[in-house]
Chain A
Amino acid sequence: MLIGRVIGDVVATRKHPSHDGQKILYVQILNLDGSERGNPILAVDAVDAGVGDQVLVTQEGWSAMTSVGKPFSPIDMSVIGVVDQIAVADD
């Protein structure tokens, strides 16, 4: 799983039926120091996260689909947690 920040969302009228009624979040994946890692991704929202939230993202398909109750659907990423705190030991 990865840490990210919700930077927006996407509106799509024509989409796969399994995505109907799902919130699709635009998420910037982050490094542990808070810097940006690569281009933002789109993830289905399983936890009612919002813009500005730091979130936990799964990029494993089955986990992503089932987290929103849609097994066997074309969903490859979902937001499965809102992060309160990350603690990393200093070296």
Chain B
Amino acid sequence: MQLGRVVGNVVCTIKSDPLEGKKLLVVQPLDKQGKDTGKPLIAIDCVGAGAGETIYWCRGREASMPWYPEQEVPTEAAIVGIVDEVHLG
């Protein structure tokens, strides 16, 4: 998983059926200092994340697991947690 911040959302009227009702959010990856790093990506939300929140997301086949086996959701990124705190040791 990786840390990121929700910076926007995407609306698609025409989409793959399993994407119906899912929230597509724009995620900006963050570095250790909490600064933007790399390029934003689109992820499906499964925890009710919203704009400005620090989150962590999961990539790959695993990203569709929150809906499996009821639905086979075509995604390679899913927001799976809203971060309260990052403790640096």
- Are A42 and B56 neighbours in the complex by a CB distance under 8 Å? yes
- Are A73 and B65 neighbours in the complex by a CB distance under 8 Å? yes
Beyond A7-B32, A12-B56, A16-B80, whether A39 also contacts B47 by CB under 8 A is no
A13 sits at the interface (CB 8 A): yes
- Are B1 and A72 neighbours in the complex by a CB distance under 8 Å? no
Instruction: Produce 1/0 per residue, B31-49, CB < 8 A to A.
Output: 1100001100000001110
Residues of chain A having any CB pair with chain B under 8 Å: 6-16, 18-19, 24, 26, 28, 39-43, 50-52, 61, 64-65, 72-77
Which residues of chain A are near B46, meaning CB under 8 Å? Answer: 16, 74
Interface size class for chain B?
20 to 34
Instruction: Produce 1/0 per residue, B52-89, CB < 8 A to A.
Output: 00001011111101101100000000101111111111
- Are A8 and B86 neighbours in the complex by a CB distance under 8 Å? yes
A-B contact pairs, 27 of them (CB 8 A): A6-B89, A8-B86, A9-B86, A10-B56, A10-B85, A15-B82, A16-B46, A16-B47, A16-B66, A16-B80, A16-B81, A24-B56, A39-B32, A40-B3, A41-B1, A42-B2, A72-B65, A72-B68, A72-B69, A73-B62, A73-B65, A73-B66, A74-B46, A74-B58, A74-B66, A76-B60, A77-B1
- Are B3 and A74 neighbours in the complex by a CB distance under 8 Å? no
The residue from A19, A64, A65 contacting B80, defined by CB atoms under 8 A apart: A19
Residues of chain B having any CB pair with chain A under 8 Å: 1-3, 29-32, 37-38, 46-48, 56, 58-63, 65-66, 68-69, 78, 80-89
Q: How many A-B residue pairs have CB under 8 A?
A: 104
